């Protein structure tokens, strides 16, 4: 099995390093990851600037990776279209430092990288670890390895990928695995207004989870209950249910 591994926390993040090592035990791994943290970049692509690419080697394990001066989606595009001699069997994005639940996935660079892979018709998973002190990366790495061994026995519909969130608990504290739908997470993005030394205004975007639903079928609830959450997601945003109704609007033009 050949795995393309990327993330949005950057190539030196603890999450991708833990996953790299765990997957290397069962597969060939090619890492193509951002040079620095690129979280909250959604599916942004770099079209107005050149994209730097260089090799980045670490000693333990003694392996080399591609370090990319771009977004997670850039990483997947450039890996598949310029760097790799052949397509990988699967693309894995993570381990993200922090959860990507419900509507969060829309902002997530980690999930967007996996969506980009699915757009290239490849199996893909995004893996995120809930906040914890400490972050239990080993639990997330081991479960992802387990999932990678299971996936070849199944096929997902085209355009579909798996969004995986893992509680930050030691393995024996995990309460099971739930296959979920995306929940809703609303933020209060308390913007904080400040003035710089020259009198000019700027804002910081804060952001705290304001309310979460308690629908038992969602990813949000699964994580709250100490379960690993797997949500099958796709990228067809069409709301088919409403098309016929909008056809009845009066929108004649000329």
Which residue do the tokens 């997670």 mark?
A: 72
* Per-residue DSSP letter, 156: P
Assess 198 for contact with its own copies (CB under 8 A).
Answer: no
Assess 203 for contact with its own copies (CB under 8 A).
Answer: yes
Known binding residue 39? Answer is yes
- Which residues, including other chains, have CB under 8 Å from residue 10's CB and lie 6 or more apart? 16, 33, 34, 35, 36, 37, 38
Assess 204 for contact with its own copies (CB under 8 A).
Answer: yes
Assess 156 for contact with its own copies (CB under 8 A).
Answer: yes
Q: Which residue lies nearer to its own copies by CB, 59 or 86?
A: 86
- Which residues, including other chains, have CB under 8 Å from residue 26's CB and lie 6 or more apart? 1, 145, 148, 149
**Contact (Cβ atoms closer than 8 angstroms) between residue 122 and residue 87:** yes
Stretch that binds its own copies, among 20-28, 41-49, 90-98, 122-130 (CB under 8 A): 41-49
Assess 28 for contact with its own copies (CB under 8 A).
Answer: no
Say how far apart CA 245 and CA 228 lie, in whole Å. Answer: 39
Q: Which helix (H) or strand (E) holds 147?
A: helix 137-150
Phi, psi dihedrals of residue 233, rounded to the nearest 5°: -125, 160
Assess 251 for contact with its own copies (CB under 8 A).
Answer: yes
Assess 93 for contact with its own copies (CB under 8 A).
Answer: no
Phi, psi dihedrals of residue 99, rounded to the nearest 5°: -75, 160
DSSP state letters, 66-79: EEESS-HHHHHHHI
Residues 208-227 that bind its own copies (CB under 8 A): none
Q: Which residue lies nearer to its own copies by CB, 57 or 237?
A: 237
Q: Which residue lies nearer to its own copies by CB, 3 or 115?
A: 115
Stretch that binds its own copies, among 11-19, 56-64, 130-138, 154-162 (CB under 8 A): 154-162
Which tokens in the block code for residue 220? 């949000």
Q: Which of 186, 161, 172 lies closest to 226, judged by CA?
A: 172
Stretch that binds its own copies, among 12-20, 26-34, 123-131, 229-237 (CB under 8 A): 229-237
- Least distance to its own copies from the beta carbon of 167, Å? 11
Number of amino acids touching its own copies (CB under 8 A): 87
Known binding residue 9? Answer is yes
Which of 21, 107, 224, 226 is the binder for its own copies (CB under 8 A)?
107
- Which residues, including other chains, have CB under 8 Å from residue 181's CB and lie 6 or more apart? 217, 218, 219, 231
Residues 128-147 that bind its own copies (CB under 8 A): 143, 146-147
Known binding residue 219? Answer is no
Assess 51 for contact with its own copies (CB under 8 A).
Answer: yes
Stretch that binds its own copies, among 9-17, 77-85, 92-100, 123-131 (CB under 8 A): 77-85
């Amino acid at each position: 099995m050949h795995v393309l591994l990327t993330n949005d926390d950057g190539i030196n993040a603890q999450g991708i390093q833990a996953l790299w090592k765990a997957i290397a035990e069962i597969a060939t791994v090619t890492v193509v990851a951002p040079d620095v943290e690129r979280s909250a970049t959604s599916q942004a692509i770099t079209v107005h600037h050149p994209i730097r690419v260089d090799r980045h080697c670490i000693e333990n394990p003694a392996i080399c990776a591609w370090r990319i001066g771009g977004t997670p989606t850039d990483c997947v595009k450039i890996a598949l279209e310029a760097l790799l001699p052949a397509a990988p069997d699967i693309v894995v994005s993570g381990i993200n430092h922090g959860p990507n639940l419900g509507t969060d996935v829309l902002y997530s660079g980690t999930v967007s990288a996996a969506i980009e892979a699915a757009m290239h018709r490849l199996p893909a998973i995004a893996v995120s670890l809930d906040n914890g002190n400490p972050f239990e990366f080993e639990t997330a790495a081991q479960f992802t390895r387990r999932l990678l061994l299971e996936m070849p026995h199944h096929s997902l519909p085209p355009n579909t990928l798996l969004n995986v969130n893992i509680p930050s608990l030691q393995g024996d504290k995990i309460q099971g695995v739930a296959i979920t739908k995306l929940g809703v997470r609303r933020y209060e993005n308390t913007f904080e207004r400040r003035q710089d030394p020259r009198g000019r205004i700027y804002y910081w975007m804060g952001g705290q989870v304001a309310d979460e639903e308690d629908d038992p079928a969602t990813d949000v609830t699964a994580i709250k209950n100490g379960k690993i959450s797997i949500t099958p997601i796709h990228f067809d945003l069409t709301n088919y249910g409403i098309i016929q109704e909008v056809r009845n609007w009066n929108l004649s033009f000329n």
